Structure 1
Amino acid sequence: MKKLLLVFAFFISLPFFGQEDAWVHLQDKPNSDTYLATPLTMLSQRALERRARQNISVDMKDVPLDAGYYAQIKNANGITVLAKSKWLNAIHVQGTQADINNLQSIFSFVAQIEFADTTLNTTNKSAQRSSHSKNKNKFAAMKTSYNYGTTSAQVTMLNADFLHQEGYTGAGMLIAVIDAGFPNVDELLAFQKLRDDDQILGGYDFVNRSTNFYTGNNHGTNVLSDIAGYIEGVFIGTAPDASFYLFISEDVANEVPLEESLWVEAAERADSLGVDVINTSLGYTTFDNANYNHSYADMDGETTFISRGAEIGASRGMMLVNAAGNSGSSSWKYMGAPADAAGVFTVGAVDAQEDIASFSSFGPTADNRIKPDVLAHGENVFVIDHLTGVPKPSNGTSFSSPVMSGVVACFWQAFPNLTSAEVRQRIRASADRYNNPDEQYGYGVPDFKSAYETVLSIDKENFMNTTTIFPNPVNNVFTIKTNDNNSTGLSIKIYNLFGSKVSEKVNLKSNTIEVSGLNAGIYILKVINGASQKTFKLVKN
């Protein structure tokens, strides 16, 4: 195993002689009209509801690859199919350069061949490959009051404890963790709450095409613990009441382009299941075959296969939280893919004093965008040991990312009608370097209490400015109209002029209110939405 936060022995896995990796991009999706007319054949109801909240339409990217095209590629001479992506309408294949190129000659539905070794492409952005050494830190390593124990510093740094005290602990939020394995999550005490409360909804091992996801490398177990671990008074993650899908896309023994394709497959699965937040503590820059290495010029969010997939994932309305990488102290100091994607929320690492961790990877992206987005505790941060089940300190943006992912889920739980883009921006705007970002700190350490209060203040202002009633005076029925996007269930209270409450209705299912039972006269009406309320003089005829 290699490229973990700890030093592992590793070996070079040479590709089969003459074999190349490539993505075969297809021209179209012939049955798209049928699928688009029946979106539940592509996406779960939960996924469609997440889209609807954010005004995101189902489109061609959601349509599966054509099964006939796939079968013909799979049966082609000398071709091995390894993965596929509906988002990118592409099939990951392996074969000789000649056999792969021949696909475009014999199949009219093949639009383009994209070799992982870009020097083999007829057109490519840059044939120049990075010469940096292999990065061994691949793993971009009701009101509730908790005794956090060992996780106190990593939780309170972000004011996640404030969200917990307000009752936002991740309940109802769905998080996918895409990583290298989750051994002993089905046994350790720290995950007993997840198991007892049925918070693990499923998972899949894409590397081995297996439904057993409680296997593989322990990195994923450590990562999951920072979000979901729960031992009262000893260790509590940042979103202990969230639900989870656990996906394995990382092949620790080999460093191959296929891992990028498997990650895209996992992200597509997460999207279809209605996941809100994806945590990825992985990043790609170098491979066993140096011809496949990415250069800094590739870190523009548009070049690598995984970053293109991540950008589509973000456009589906999910929050994609990704570790920046652990290369800050090396000659290759930059983030890896997909942390370079514009729609990915990239997380660097600081120590308990909020000083930058020396290993935390740098931005900006090749096209000069700010990365990382924000920072969280990642140096001497606590995780659950996968063997002993007890907390231990560890290092890496691998862990600052899940610490952040859990708080993101809690924040979004508080304001479910915010779009994913609005969530990203509200969090960035709360960070301590928002007005003066730089190449390693990004926008700095967020303050989720400040972000929460800012959104609440905006909601109150919107509610006050947009809420009206009509008609007034009223005979028997009046209607409440509001343009407040975060209205989640209005309530009303009506008082007479002596201050006595004469009517109350909570969690209105309709904004049309019946008042025929009131005597003619003047009343005080309070319209309430969460912490916001607006008072009207109501005249009853």
Structure 2
Amino acid sequence: MKKGLLIVLLFFSCLNALAQEDAWVYLLDKKDVTASIANPISILSQKAINRKALHNIPIDERDVPVDEDYIAQLKSSTGITVKAKSKWFNAVHVRGSIVNIQALDDLSFVSHIEFADKDLNTSKTSKEKLNSKFESVFTDFNYGNAFNQIDMLNGHILHQENYTGAGMTVAVLDAGFPNVNIMSAFERLRSTNNLLGSYDFVNREEDVYTNNTSNHGTLVLSTMAGFIQDQFVGTAPDAGYFLFITEDATSETPVEESYWVEAAERADSLGVDVINTSLGYTTYDNPNYSYSPSDMNGNTAYITKGANIAFEKGMLLVTSAGNSGNDSWQIVGAPADASGVLSIGAVNANGAYAFFSSKGSAAQPNQKPDVVAQGLASYVITENNTTATSNGTSFSSPIMAGAVTCLWQALPDKNNEEIMQLVREYASQYENPDNFLGYGIPDFEKALNAGLGFGNVPEDTEELIVFPSPTTGKLYISGFIDSSGLAKLYLFDIWGKKISEFDLNRETDDNIDLSFLSSGLYILNTGENKTFKIVKQ
């Protein structure tokens, strides 16, 4: 009798285990949230967008659909039927046995599970797992040998704030990218589907990984997107990347400028945010095609004019200043001479000028280089999947481009020129730029805080107000940044070139005369982390 009862109990126990239960599976994240919110028509109808705008209802992460890849994995799980999904809760309603539903908790993208039968919610699924996952997300990277080149910029602070480039798109216009498609150092890039596409404009083919004579693009990309656990982390490891070959490494001819412009046009059509160009053009194999230093005036070279148009289209262009500082050419080349380009010089690991870095020239209409990053003994990952050091503004540029990409991710409401201005303004020698380091080494932590509105204004300072903007001439001042009643103001154009400075006294001065300016947008800076955009009519 006891044996029969035991069999019956086991039978009903098995039935309970196999009984179908309902549960909500909450997911940890969503794909492309930043990009989707920035382009709401991709996730909402125009009518929905209009209704939200009419009633001042923000479009947020809840409007982004549930990741279909996650749903597909749930559907393929043993004994699981997907019944419904909710983007608002980022959850999927499933049906299955208790055992099979509980097994879903082992999936990396599952945050926690709630059974409809509340008596079944006794496992440690929810908060313990959720917290442990988020702890791993926000854990500091171990940058290994690459630490100095990001620490110099305080770019690692952006990463600590979880701004790693996610949702941003970068186009790398360069020479060959051998082995990027198979190297383990780019496995993170590939596994997250952030290797978005490629094209060789020189040979007119999709393949940029084989049949090329240069590894330059691979080295450049590694400083932004490379990742070797506990050994190397690029400055924007979670951005999406398009890889374009525009440089013919076998010769130097003007057609490469045209390839570059064509690639920039494609980047624009693909919605690229940031372009990195570790290339420069000054002289050619045929000297009849070569430029002269006087042509580096910001609007002569074909590629320079193309770069300015790319800037007008809203992209942010980061470009190597060049490696001619120690030869007869010396000055910044094209397209880094463009007003719409953030041109990057090079320093060594201690922040001192690197001897080869191309210099600015008084003949150039804008301050060049704009800023600098480590370009002497920069750490890179080679096509052989090993770390090494290499020299050149070819590497200071992408190191900077990655940091800029993360900053823009953090400040999505800023446009390209505003991000560029923040980078310049919070650089080490902003008030006293020179032709070697430009505005100096940027501090991305300060730029982030300023962009978020957390500037360092002394508590006892009377708030400074300037008005009106737009103005036809006079700009009136109320309040002074210095508690002594004095103020020093600096006026810059949108490219970061200082136009004038004004010494004001609370007792005698209440305005400055801007009638000498041409119509346009200008930046007024107090020198104390407070800026104003001024429109001159």
Question: Which residue, 436, 439, 454 being the options, matches 1:440?
Answer: 436
Give, in angstroms, the shift of residue 459 of structure 1. 9.2
Give the equivalent residue in structure 1 for 2:261.
Answer: 264
- Give the SS at the match of 2:257: helix
Alpha-carbon distance in structure 2 between the residues aligned to 1:364 and 1:316: 27
Amino acid at match of 1:409: T
Aligned residues of 1:263 and 1:306 also touching (Cα < 8 A): yes
- Give the SS at the match of 1:427: helix
Question: Which residue, 236, 241, 246 being the options, matches 2:243?
Answer: 246
| Structure 1 residues 357-436: aligned runs within 5 Å | 357-364=354-361, 366-387=363-384, 389-436=385-432
Alpha-carbon distance in structure 2 between the residues aligned to 1:430 and 1:48: 26
Give the equivalent residue in structure 2 for 1:137.
Answer: none
Amino acid at match of 1:185: V
Alpha-carbon distance in structure 2 between the residues aligned to 1:50 and 1:268: 23
Question: Which residue, 161, 164, 184 being the options, matches 1:189?
Answer: 184
Aligned residues of 1:296 and 1:366 also touching (Cα < 8 A): no
Give the equivalent residue in structure 1 for 2:207.
Answer: 212
Question: Which residue, 215, 232, 253 being the options, matches 1:235?
Answer: 232
Amino acid at match of 1:425: Q
Q: Deviations over 1:171-217 (max 9, x none)?
A: 00000000001000011111011111111010100000011111321
Q: Deviations over 1:125-149 (max 9, x none)?
A: xxxxxxxxxxxxxxxxx53410000
- Give the SS at the match of 2:421: helix
Aligned residues of 2:449 and 2:455 also touching (Cα < 8 A): no
The 1:367/1:395 distance shift into structure 2, 3 A limit, reads: closer
Give the equivalent residue in structure 2 for 1:156.
Answer: 151
Alpha-carbon distance in structure 2 between the residues aligned to 1:225 and 1:401: 12
Aligned residues of 1:150 and 1:235 also touching (Cα < 8 A): yes
Alpha-carbon distance in structure 2 between the residues aligned to 1:256 and 1:381: 28
2:275 matches 1:302? no
Give, in angstroms, the shift of residue 48 of structure 1. 9.5
Alpha-carbon distance in structure 1 between the residues aligned to 2:328 and 2:369: 18
Amino acid at match of 2:448: Y
Alpha-carbon distance in structure 1 between the residues aligned to 2:416 and 2:455: 17
Q: Deviations over 1:363-392 (max 9, x none)?
A: 1263342100000011001001112x1110
Q: Deviations over 1:94-125 (max 9, x none)?
A: xxxxxxxxxxxxxxxxxxxxxxxxxxxxxxxx
Aligned residues of 2:298 and 2:365 also touching (Cα < 8 A): no
Alpha-carbon distance in structure 1 between the residues aligned to 2:326 and 2:391: 13
| Structure 1 residues 259-338: aligned runs within 5 Å | 259-338=256-335
Alpha-carbon distance in structure 1 between the residues aligned to 2:428 and 2:238: 28
Aligned residues of 2:345 and 2:371 also touching (Cα < 8 A): yes
The 1:48/1:458 distance shift into structure 2, 3 A limit, reads: closer
Alpha-carbon distance in structure 1 between the residues aligned to 2:304 and 2:231: 37
- Give the SS at the match of 1:201: strand
- Give the SS at the match of 2:403: helix
Structure with the larger RCO, 1 or 2 (CA within 8 Å, 6+ apart)? 1
Alpha-carbon distance in structure 1 between the residues aligned to 2:208 and 2:326: 33
Alpha-carbon distance in structure 1 between the residues aligned to 2:144 and 2:238: 18
The 1:46/1:310 distance shift into structure 2, 3 A limit, reads: farther
2:158 matches 1:174? no
Give the equivalent residue in structure 2 for 1:453.
Answer: 449
The 1:163/1:294 distance shift into structure 2, 3 A limit, reads: same
Alpha-carbon distance in structure 1 between the residues aligned to 2:437 and 2:337: 15
Aligned residues of 1:205 and 1:248 also touching (Cα < 8 A): yes
| Structure 1 residues 28-107: aligned runs within 5 Å | 49=39
2:332 matches 1:339? no
Which ranges in structure 1 are unaligned for 5 or more consecutive residues?
Answer: 1-44, 52-141, 466-541
Amino acid at match of 1:422: E
TM-score by length of 1: 0.59
Alpha-carbon distance in structure 2 between the residues aligned to 1:369 and 1:230: 36
Alpha-carbon distance in structure 2 between the residues aligned to 1:156 and 1:455: 20
Aligned residues of 1:47 and 1:271 also touching (Cα < 8 A): no
Alpha-carbon distance in structure 1 between the residues aligned to 2:266 and 2:362: 28
Give the equivalent residue in structure 2 for 1:14.
Answer: none
Alpha-carbon distance in structure 2 between the residues aligned to 1:190 and 1:454: 34
Alpha-carbon distance in structure 1 between the residues aligned to 2:36 and 2:217: 25
TM-score by length of 2: 0.59
Aligned residues of 1:348 and 1:374 also touching (Cα < 8 A): yes
Alpha-carbon distance in structure 1 between the residues aligned to 2:406 and 2:375: 19
The 1:245/1:184 distance shift into structure 2, 3 A limit, reads: same
Which ranges in structure 2 are unaligned for 5 or more consecutive residues?
Answer: 1-34, 42-136, 458-463, 465-537
Aligned residues of 1:47 and 1:273 also touching (Cα < 8 A): no
Aligned residues of 1:239 and 1:407 also touching (Cα < 8 A): yes
Length, aligned pairs only: 328
Give, in angstroms, the shift of residue 457 of structure 1. 2.1
Alpha-carbon distance in structure 2 between the residues aligned to 1:272 and 1:458: 35
Whichever of the two has the greater Rg, that structure is 2
Alpha-carbon distance in structure 2 between the residues aligned to 1:47 and 1:290: 50
Amino acid at match of 1:147: N
Alpha-carbon distance in structure 2 between the residues aligned to 1:47 and 1:268: 24
| Structure 1 residues 448-527: aligned runs within 5 Å | 448-457=444-453
After TM superposition, the runs of 4+ consecutive aligned structure 1 residues lying more than 6 A away are 45-48
Q: Deviations over 1:315-364 (max 9, x none)?
A: 11111000000001101101110000000000000011000100000012
Amino acid at match of 1:435: E
Give, in angstroms, the shift of residue 458 of structure 1. 5.7
